[in-house]
């Protein structure tokens, strides 16, 4: 398999991940609102607004990665993917929820 084909597979995978998570955030996924309120001590309305903004950013990352990858945006995707995966055990989910999300931050590398 050529490098260009591998690059496109990874670009599509990362874009899909960020688009999907962005839509979940914009839709106000209930468990994520709970995580934001738990970690930041804000009310549900503020947590929902934060998630909408995060969702918009995730969708922008998806589009940039898919159509015109920029190194800084890919590095952000690595950081954000790692951070959000790490949140799982922080909010009480099993460590395996972090481990199974390694691709979320590994693929943009």
Chain segment 11-41, per-residue pLDDT in tens: 999 999 999 999 999 999 999 999 999 999 9
Answering whether pTM is above 0.85, one says: yes
Q: What H or E segment, with its residue span, contains residue 39?
A: helix 30-40
* Category of 69 on φ-ψ map: left (φ > 0), alpha (ψ -120 to 50) or beta: beta
Q: What percent of the chain has a predicted confidence (pLDDT) above 70?
A: 100
Could you give the count of Cα atoms lying within 13 Å of 2 in the half-sphere of its Cβ?
3
Q: Residue 1: its pLDDT value, please?
A: 82
Q: Hey, where are the domains in the chain? A: 3-104
Low-confidence ranges of the chain (pLDDT < 70): none
Q: Residue 70: its pLDDT value, please?
A: 97
Q: What's the token pair of residue 96?
A: 């395996």
């Amino acid at each position: 398999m050529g490098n260009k084909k591998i690059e496109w597979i990874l670009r599509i995978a990362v874009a899909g991940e960020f688009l999907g998570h962005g839509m979940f955030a914009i839709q106000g996924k209930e468990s994520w609102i709970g995580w934001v309120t738990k970690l930041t001590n804000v009310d549900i309305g503020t947590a929902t607004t934060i998630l909408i903004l995060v969702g918009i950013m995730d969708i922008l990352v998806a589009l940039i990665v898919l159509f015109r990858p920029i190194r800084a945006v890919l590095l952000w995707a690595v950081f954000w993917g790692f951070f959000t995966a790490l949140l799982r055990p922080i909010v009480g989910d099993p460590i395996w929820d972090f481990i199974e999300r390694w691709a979320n931050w590994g693929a943009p590398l």
